[in-house]
Amino acid sequence: MIGKEILDSEPIPAAKVKAILEDFSENNELNYEQNITLNHVSRFRQFSLEDTEKIVKELEGIIKTKYAVRVVDLIPEDLADLRLIFAKEQIPIKKEDMEEILKILDKYDTLE
């Protein structure tokens, strides 16, 4: 796009995208892309926005933010699912770290 420059980029979880679009849609009409995005993020199981932010903070002690957001959005249920998330990544992650990630997710999953 001519005249547009990306100044900053950061990953945000689907729960936050959903909250932003729902707030925006209260006073404005969503365009096609925004409507498709809202439908997409509404279809999948996810944690509340507050829990999502807490989980990402906890996971940042183990993995980078972009991976923490991906894990929170996909909510892996076991080591096999978690391994699939990191399969193409060039980051070394130990089995103990993956087990810790699953424990953190399980802790918040029981509160739902």
Q: pLDDT tens digits for 43-98?
A: 988 899 999 999 999 999 999 999 999 999 999 999 999 999 999 888 889 999 99
Whether residues 56 and 31 share a domain: the answer is no
Number of structural domains in the chain: 2
Cβ(62)–Cβ(86) under 8 Å? no
Q: In the structure encoding, which two tokens stand for residue 11, read together? A: 């990953």
CB–CB of 71/108 below 8 Å? no
Q: What is the CATH number of the domain that holds 101?
A: 1.10.150.80
- pLDDT tens for residues 14-45? 999 999 999 999 999 999 999 999 999 999 88
pTM metric for this prediction: 0.84
User: How many residues appear in the chain?
Assistant: 112
